Amino acid sequence: MRIGLFGGTFDPIHIGHLIVVENCINYMNLDRVIILPSSDPPHKRDRKKTATSIRVEMVSEAIKDNDKLVLSTYESTDHIVHYTDDTIKYFRENFPDDDIFYIMGEDSFLTIDTWKNYEDILDTNIIVFTRSNIDEDSELVRKVHDIRKDNPNIFLINNLNINISSTLIRGLVKDDKSIKYLVRDGVKYIIENRGLYV
């Protein structure tokens, strides 16, 4: 099988996240995408986050009707920092007969040199999704071409220009504005029922 790994804080998970993984499934012929909510992502350690259990619940609700999306609590069952290279290694070891693809955004890819053991990460299959249409003269494309000299399995796909973020959604809730259509209805219910982001 071809398996994608998609990690994040997911505070909350929103339609933009789901469009990203659906694009990856379509363009990369993935059989499954494993969604990995992180209890304590290294780049967001100093930020206030919703309780991990609630974020996991929102992910579960958001993906429950898509049999190609699977929730994993590998990065969310404790409160230690899980680094990407360790996560990739874990899934490679547990799915030795499958092709593993790590899915990441353009901004993350551009700063990957600052990640722990980033050389090991760049040695795997990586799918990079863009914030806008692919610009052949951009820093992103230049970096992808440079890394492909050592690893041809770096794939770049457009993200349909869906500019939705968890920060936007939290701000709308705080301002008592509607988030309908930005998150799945079940996620919206959890946000309202738990009084999140107010």
- Tell me the per-residue pLDDT of 100-136, one tens digit each, with 9 for 90 and over: 999 999 999 999 999 999 999 999 999 999 877 777 7
Kindly state whether residue 188 falls inside one of the protein's structural domains: no
Kindly state whether residue 49 falls inside one of the protein's structural domains: yes
Kindly state whether residue 113 falls inside one of the protein's structural domains: yes
Is residue 196 scored above 90 in pLDDT? yes
Q: How confident is the model at residue 32 (pLDDT cuts 50, 70, 90)?
A: very high
Tell me the CA distances in angstroms from 96 to 25, 88, 90, 99, one per residue in order: 20, 12, 10, 8
Kindly state whether residue 198 falls inside one of the protein's structural domains: no
CATH code where residue 114 lies: 3.40.50.620
Per residue in 142-181, pLDDT (tens digit) is: 999 898 988 899 999 987 767 899 999 999 999 999 999 9
Alpha-carbon gap, residue 190 to 52, rounded angstroms: 14
Is residue 40 scored above 80 in pLDDT? no
Kindly state whether residue 183 falls inside one of the protein's structural domains: no
Q: How confident is the model at residue 138 (pLDDT cuts 50, 70, 90)?
A: confident
pLDDT at 119: 92
Total domain count for the chain?
1
pLDDT at 172: 98
Q: What are 7's strand-pairing partners?
A: 36
Kindly state whether residue 171 falls inside one of the protein's structural domains: no
Q: How confident is the model at residue 45 (pLDDT cuts 50, 70, 90)?
A: low
SS3 label, residue 187:
helix
* Nearest residue to 75 (alpha-carbon basis) of 98, 96, 49: 49
Write out the E strands in the chain. Answer: 2-8, 32-37, 69-71, 99-105, 125-129, 154-157
Q: Whole-prediction pTM value?
A: 0.94
Cβ count near 128 (within 10 Å): 24
Query: What is the arithmetic mean of pLDDT over 60-76?
Result: 97
Query: What is the arithmetic mean of pLDDT over 1-9?
Result: 97
What mean pLDDT is reported for the chain? 92
pLDDT at 62: 98
Q: How confident is the model at residue 46 (pLDDT cuts 50, 70, 90)?
A: low
Kindly state whether residue 110 falls inside one of the protein's structural domains: yes
Cβ count near 124 (within 10 Å): 20
Kindly state whether residue 145 falls inside one of the protein's structural domains: yes
Q: Give residue 129's domain range.
A: 2-163
